[in-house]
Amino acid sequence: MTKADLVDVVADEGELSKRQAGQIVDLILDEIKAALKKGDRVALTPFGSFVVRARKAREGRNPKTGERIKIAARKVPAFVAGKSLKDAVGGARRK
């Protein structure tokens, strides 16, 4: 599913124009991005949560030359699926 597909579904289900639905989808994505930028966790119960994770600095290799390079520490966005999403996609867990 693409963003355009999502806009189409929101427009159809919400009886909105595609322009209005596009603005709503953009607003939601912008708010999620702004919250993550501040370091907040965005929980969409029971769908899942968007979080920011810190990656430590590490050493890597240039695949072309084999030369060692330093990879700086950074923050990366991540998504943690909620129980209902996990159940819908993967079924029951093994014990």
The pair of structure tokens assigned to 73 is 């520490």
Q: What angle do CA 88, 89, 90 make, to 5 degrees?
A: 105
Q: What's the fold here for domain 41-90? A: HU Protein; Chain A (4.10.520)
How crowded is residue 7: how many other Cβ atoms within 10 Å of its Cβ? Answer: 20
The pLDDT of residue 91 is above 90: no
pLDDT in tens, 66-79: 999 999 999 999 99
Q: How open is the CA angle 1-6-12, to the nearest 5 degrees?
A: 130
Give this prediction's pTM. Answer: 0.77
